[in-house]
């Protein structure tokens, strides 16, 4: 495998899964040429005059879509750990004797483990996606033999589809509610997941599109998130996912005192640095610390009489509370995490659904995340130069996907809110195991041992220098942790590349190596 050193100093393959690659040339240095992919031109002649695209089952739909060896099949992960349909798809493919498929989900989760046997058997050639838990471990261990894993951010995946970097033959899109023409949404069903924005690029660009729903509603489905004039077949089945794992009844804030303190510190930083001002915008996530941060910031906003212009969210009851209390004018919502979020999306016109093509797309005429004032994110590692990692642990195991993390890095102030160590393994390291975000993207690291500001952000340093915030250098924090936990050992890796991490623009940022 021919490797080159990219602008971040990382060695990356020049070809991945038989496609030539552009090594990462630096942030905002890559300017693509050319035109977006053109979807197949269909004609209404080939679709039912009564608009009824319902076929008996998923197997029939896949056969009618011309399923054959070597195709790329996409699914989406709005159902998260409750997804069952991706697994069904590949069980059917195996049953039909189809081989060498590429699975291209918007993310893969431990619930998708049953698909790994189809990789072993050759039904699935390889997977290109964010890989969480057992899915990532499988790749790290070098068990996906025929192809490399390709990790893209949510926005990077949508962009790859748009740009023609990945061509989808068949998209299987699960929707909580759909009409027989294929118009669909995620809020009018019995097992709702809120918005369906991960599926939009698949819908627009795939040759064939199947909607799988458990609730057939009268035409027209209201509201319409996915438009039926892009849909080939509709499948209705009783069970489209495990409702308990799709959205939760309630979302829980972390109870860890350390993590609550980190969240509070992050919120205090945002306030002190002057970011929290009327009309500002924030990215609100659904992780434990992010939820607590949102909650703390909302409290400070209320105390100070500050109102946000808009919140870009993975939506939860905490941001819904902000909307309903007038602390934000709008929620722009990429993913709903609880039932309160689904209710708000349905009832409140200022709670707007969005998609990865709109919010996160680096090859658009601007995107929403680039307009956000502050985003608070997690990380597995951050190094003393502020480079960050979110996919591998310090032992080299790839256990997490990128999600929207790289995309949110484009917020005007990006804060990594992380514990200084986990299981006695320091989070701040000399050099990240895998580079997922170059140093210039990370502005602030908040830990329970203090706040480190990237020296590049002299504006943030100035804005907080006379405050009571525990601002320290990242090296100080690192040394303090190492005095407690010891210097971490370097991961034991082979020189075999098992996956690559793409930057938001499709260039290759780093390689992930097989663990020993």
Positions touching its own copies (CB under 8 A) are 28, 30-51, 53, 162-164, 181-182, 209, 218-220, 222-224, 227-232, 279, 309-310, 329-330, 332, 349-350, 352, 357-358, 361-368, 370-371, 410, 412, 505
* Residue closer to its own copies (CB basis): 83 or 163: 163
Q: Please, which residue, 94 or 332, has the CB nearer to its own copies?
A: 332
Which stretches within 253-316 are classed as H helix? Answer: 257-272, 288-304
Q: Which is nearer to its own copies, 27 or 119 (CB)?
A: 27
Least distance to its own copies from the beta carbon of 340, Å?
Answer: 19
- Taking the complex as a whole, the smallest distance from the CB of residue 359 to its own copies amounts, in Å, to 8
Q: Which is nearer to its own copies, 213 or 380 (CB)?
A: 213
Q: Which is nearer to its own copies, 296 or 355 (CB)?
A: 355
Q: Tell me 112's DSSP state.
A: G
Can you tell me whether residue 140 is helix, strand or coil?
helix
**At its nearest, how many Å lie between its own copies and the CB of residue 442?**
17
**Sequence-ordered list of residues with C-beta below 8 angstroms from that of 347, at least 6 positions apart, any chain:** none
Q: Tell the smallest beta-carbon distance from residue 228 to its own copies (Å).
A: 7
Strand (E) or helix (H) holding 246:
helix 243-246
CB of 305 to its own copies, least distance (A): 18
In the complex with its own copies, the residue whose CB is nearer, 284 or 291, is 284
Q: How far is the CB of 348 from its own copies (least distance, A)?
A: 10
Choice between 32 and 287, CB closer to its own copies: 32
Kindly list the strands in the beta sheet with 149-151, ordered across the sheet, starting from the edge strand earlier in the chain.
Answer: 149-151, 493-502, 508-515
The secondary structure of 148-194, three-state, reads: CEEECCHHHHHHHHHHCCCCCCEEEEEECEECCCCCEECCCCCCCCC
**Shortest Cβ distance from residue 406 to its own copies (Å)?**
13
Closest contact distance (angstroms) between CB of 110 and its own copies is: 33
423: left (phi over 0), alpha (psi -120 to 50) or beta: left
Q: Which is nearer to its own copies, 148 or 411 (CB)?
A: 411
Q: For the chain, how far is it from start to end, CA to CA, in angstroms?
A: 19
Between CA 174 and CA 191 the distance in angstroms is 11
Judged by beta carbon, residue 245 or residue 412, the one nearer its own copies is 412
Of 230, 276, 268, whose CA–CA distance to 469 is shortest? 268
| CB 23 within 8 Å of CB 12 | yes
350: which residues sit within 8 A by CB, 6+ positions away? 323, 329, 330, 331
φ, ψ dihedrals at 433, nearest 5°: -60, -45
How far apart CA 356 and CA 205 sit, in angstroms, is: 14
Least distance (Å) from its own copies to the CB of residue 446? 24
Task: Kindly calculate the radius of gyration of the chain based on its CA atoms and give it in whole angstroms.
Answer: 22
Of 128, 132, 160, 156, the C-alpha closest to 144 is 128
Cis peptide before 357 (omega within 30 of 0): no
Give the separation between CA 186 and CA 175, rounded to whole angstroms. Answer: 6
Nearer to its own copies, 381 or 443 (CB): 443
Least Å distance between CB 301 and its own copies?
A: 17
């Amino acid at each position: 495998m021919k490797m080159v050193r990219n602008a971040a100093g990382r060695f990356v393959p020049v070809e991945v899964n038989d496609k030539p690659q552009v090594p990462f040339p630096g942030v905002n240095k890559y300017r693509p040429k050319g035109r977006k992919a053109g979807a197949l031109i269909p004609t209404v002649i080939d679709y039912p005059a009564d608009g009824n695209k319902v076929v008996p089952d998923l197997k029939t739909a896949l056969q009618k879509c011309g399923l054959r060896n070597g195709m790329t099949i996409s699914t989406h992960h709005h159902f998260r750990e409750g997804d069952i349909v991706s697994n069904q798809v590949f069980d059917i493919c195996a049953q039909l004797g189809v081989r060498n498929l590429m699975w291209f989900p918007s993310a893969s989760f431990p619930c998708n483990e049953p698909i790994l046997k189809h990789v072993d058997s050759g039904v699935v050639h390889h997977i290109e996606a964010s890989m969480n838990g057992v899915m990532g471990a499988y790749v790290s261990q070098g068990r996906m033999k025929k192809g490399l894993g390709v990790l893209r951010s949510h926005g990077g995946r949508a962009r790859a589809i748009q740009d023609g970097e990945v061509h989808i033959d068949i998209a299987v899109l699960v929707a909580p509610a759909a009409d027989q023409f294929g118009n669909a949404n995620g809020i009018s069903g019995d097992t709702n997941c809120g918005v369906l924005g991960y599926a939009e690029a698949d819908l627009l660009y795939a040759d064939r599109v199947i909607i799988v729903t458990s609730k057939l509603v009268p035409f027209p489905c209201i509201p319409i998130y996915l438009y039926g004039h892009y849909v080939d077949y509709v499948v209705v089945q009783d069970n489209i996912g495990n409702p308990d794992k799709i959205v939760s009844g309630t979302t829980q804030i972390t109870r860890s005192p350390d993590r609550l303190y980190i969240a509070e510190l992050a919120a205090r930083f945002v306030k002190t640095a002057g970011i929290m001002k009327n009309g500002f915008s924030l990215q609100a996530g659904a992780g434990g610390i992010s939820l607590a941060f949102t909650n703390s910031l909302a409290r400070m906003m209320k105390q100070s009489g500050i109102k946000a212009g808009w919140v870009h969210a993975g939506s939860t009851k905490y941001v819904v509370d902000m909307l309903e209390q007038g602390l934000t004018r709008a929620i722009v919502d990429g993913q709903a995490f609880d039932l309160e979020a689904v209710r708000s999306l349905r009832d409140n016109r200022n709670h707007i659904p969005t998609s990865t093509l709109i919010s996160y797309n680096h090859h658009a005429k601007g995107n929403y995340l680039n307009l956000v004032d502050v985003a608070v994110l997690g990380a597995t590692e951050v190094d003393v130069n502020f480079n960050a990692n979110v996919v591998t642990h310090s032992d080299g195991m790839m256990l997490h996907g990128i999600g929207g993390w790289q995309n949110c890095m484009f917020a005007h102030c990006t804060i990594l809110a992380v514990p200084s160590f986990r299981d006695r393994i320091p989070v701040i390291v000399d050099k990240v195991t895998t580079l997922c975000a170059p140093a210039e993207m990370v502005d602030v690291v908040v830990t329970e041992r203090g706040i480190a500001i990237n020296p590049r952000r002299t504006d943030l340093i100035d804005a907080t220098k006379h405050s009571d915030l525990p601002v320290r250098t990242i090296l100080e924090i690192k040394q303090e942790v190492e005095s407690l936990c010891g210097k971490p050992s370097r991961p034991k890796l082979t020189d075999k590349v098992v996956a690559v991490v793409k930057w938001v623009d499709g260039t290759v940022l780093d390689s992930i190596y097989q663990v020993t």
